[in-house]
Structure 1
Amino acid sequence: MTNLKVHSSVPADLEGGLAELRGDCARMAPHWAVPEHRASRPVPPSLIHGVSVPVRSARLLDAMSDYGD
């Protein structure tokens, strides 16, 4: 098994602000690959299946005003 401990001469600043986070992200951005954009195709209705909800859960959701109204 490999020892994955990382040793750094600079302690991690866990209380950094938003500006520091944005700077870190800007420095990391060039290292991220952007996947090729693929055009989405419609899904044929034969591949769409319904959702099964247990009766007990359906009653619970029906009783909640956010979902039942």
Structure 2
Amino acid sequence: MTNLKVQVPVPVDLEGDLASLPGDGARMAPHWAVPDRVAARPVSPALIHGVTVPPASARLLDAMSDYGD
């Protein structure tokens, strides 16, 4: 991750256009703490229950091509 430092104060843009986003992010970055590592643990299929998929959503997903086609 790149450590962004703002050398010159940037005026706050209250209108919020896209050009102001990099400066906003650079000013907020020092306030965000990033954990060293987050380990995702697999969940047993036996613990997954009560999930229902509406038929329309299942048809929509079935009609989509696989990622990377």
Q: Whose Rg is larger? A: 1
* Higher relative contact order structure (alpha carbons within 8 Å, sequence separation ≥ 6): 2
TM normalised by structure 1 equals: 0.47
TM normalised by structure 2 equals: 0.47
